[in-house]
Structure 1
Amino acid sequence: MPKTNAPKTDDAAKVPQVTLMFWVIKIAATTLGETGGDAVTLSMGLGYLAGTAVFAVAFAAAVAAQIGARRFHPALYWLTILATTTVGTTLADFADRSLGIGYAGGTALLTGLLALSLTGWRLALGTVSVASVTGARTEAFYWVTILFSQTLGTALGDWAADSEGLGYGGGILVFAGLLALVAAAYAWTSLSRTALFWAAFILTRPLGAVVGDFLDKPADAGGLDLSRYAASALLLAFVAACLLLVPQRPASSRH
């Protein structure tokens, strides 16, 4: 039999099954990434570069632990997601604001990087399905792709809310509406489930970004002016409660 580069998918993956609760936690986690990232860079005054360095270390440690794990651990998986969304927030803000490439430039750059990551993963391993995430090589592609998607989402959310003048409320409506279209396509069409998953995964990040900004930005800027620390703590408690109350199972090639 000829050798193949396709990953093994007969074992349970080290990522969760994609259920409604998966998306609830994902949106909460991405919102937490926005408020938590802003809490460190703005409220604590570390700035975007130092904040990115702090969260990059946390991201590297979380990914190393996730890849080194022998099986799916819900808390570890979502901790790694939180690490990607916080470093994505500060990295996008650093590129957009400190480097001066702007929201549109940052969005274009990160869209290209995300496309390259997904293409490279598909060419190297034959699939970008989450059910294939069972080994270190696949996980490396998975987490790089997620990092780019989380960073892109921050830039895209800021671009829509600020540069395009939608505001936080308008941005929430736009991205929630796009997610609803993806859900409708999943329910009523035969479009690729893998493509729809990644479309939804990417869109949850700008939704979380504008929700997070809506929660903690000043009232004169269209926000609720809540404490970034309090908002982050409440979101973290919500994510933890979801993990405790709703059991999560690993994805499988049978799903």
Structure 2
Amino acid sequence: MDHAKHALAKVPELTLAFWIIKIAATTLGETGGDALSMSMNLGYLMSTFIFAAVFAVAVIAQIKADRFQPALYWITIIATTTVGTTLADFADRSLGIGYAGGSAILLALLLTSLAVWYRAMGSVSVSTIASPKAEAFYWLTIMFSQTLGTALGDWTADSAGFGYTGAAMIFGGLLLVIVLLYYFTAVSRTVLFWGAFILTRPLGAVVGDFLDKPVAHGGLAMSRYGASIALVMFIVVCGFLFKQRPARVAH
């Protein structure tokens, strides 16, 4: 196996199972991040440092891995969602930037990451991730997208006044539009992938908030620990039920 195929084998094939687990992982990022920052009273900044350390270790392990390892890949994804949750909350609430300001800054960072990645590698398609450098861009971009998703979800549910269920319907509807574009148009698959990847995060964020926020605020008031454990179990079961294969390198 050549280097390109060897490296690409660490990126999963994009199937329905991938997107189901991705949404569950982003929801876990919200409940898990809130559990550490709020339930354990560590605060947004300390929680961000903790999750950022986990994220850094996971990314290094992912890049150094010699083949696709589903468990390691999803641990890294979950690490990006948890650090994204606490980082966005710290910027929006502790620094007083606000949801709209935080979303705008994070969108700029995400677009800059994609632009630099494209300029350096010639493509931002996951089918061209065949080197440690491309993987580093991939994970940095994902981290920005997860953080943006948290801020965007909070802005839609709270500032825009749609509530958790209303926001979930909005983001779910936008994902449906992407699905329709995928099957019935010739829109770039790379553009659709990143659009879907970004939108699954605010969807997970508002679903996570719906699960653990007080009833008076429109949530179900579930235990953040209980919700997080249930989501972990769901992801593990999906991992056993749906065999994930590595994506193929673009030739």
Structure 1: where are the runs of 5+ without partners? 1-6
Q: In the alignment, residue 99 of structure 2 is paired with which amino acid?
A: Y
In structure 2, the residue matched to 1:57 is 53
**Against the structure 1 CA distance between its residues 38 and 10, is the aligned structure 2 distance closer, same or farther, given a 3 Å change threshold?**
closer
State the SS of the aligned residue for 1:14.
coil
Q: Is the 8 A contact 2:7 2:131 kept in 1?
A: no
Q: Which runs of 4+ in 1 moved over 6 A?
A: none
Q: Is the 8 A contact 1:10 1:252 kept in 2?
A: no
In structure 2, the residue matched to 1:203 is 199
User: Following TM superposition, by how much is the alpha carbon of 1:122 offset from its aligned partner in structure 2, in angstroms?
Assistant: 0.6
Structure 2: where are the runs of 5+ without partners? none
Residue 250 of structure 2 corresponds to residue 251 of structure 1? no
Residue 120 of structure 2 corresponds to residue 124 of structure 1? yes
Residue 211 of structure 2 corresponds to residue 189 of structure 1? no
The Cα RMSD (Å) is 1.4
Q: Is the 8 A contact 2:7 2:67 kept in 1?
A: no
TM-score between the two structures when normalised by the length of structure 1: 0.95
In structure 2, the residue matched to 1:22 is 18
After superposition, residues 71-110 of structure 1 pair within 5 angstroms as: 71-110=67-106
**Against the structure 1 CA distance between its residues 136 and 222, is the aligned structure 2 distance closer, same or farther, given a 3 Å change threshold?**
same
Count of equivalent residues: 249
Q: In the alignment, residue 119 of structure 1 is paired with which amino acid?
A: A
Q: In the alignment, residue 42 of structure 2 is paired with which amino acid?
A: L
In structure 2, the residue matched to 1:176 is 172
Partners of 1:10 and 1:51 in 2: CA distance: 35
In structure 1, the residue matched to 2:29 is 33
Partners of 2:4 and 2:123 in 1: CA distance: 11
Deviations 1:41-65 (A, max 9, x none): 0000000001001101100000010
Q: Is the 8 A contact 2:168 2:206 kept in 1?
A: yes
Residue 229 of structure 2 corresponds to residue 224 of structure 1? no
Partners of 1:84 and 1:11 in 2: CA distance: 20
Partners of 1:101 and 1:11 in 2: CA distance: 39
Partners of 2:37 and 2:139 in 1: CA distance: 23
TM-score between the two structures when normalised by the length of structure 2: 0.97
In structure 1, the residue matched to 2:155 is 159
Q: In the alignment, residue 184 of structure 1 is paired with which amino acid?
A: L
In structure 2, the residue matched to 1:3 is none
Deviates more, 1:244-253 or 1:230-239: 244-253
In structure 1, the residue matched to 2:229 is 233
Partners of 2:98 and 2:70 in 1: CA distance: 36
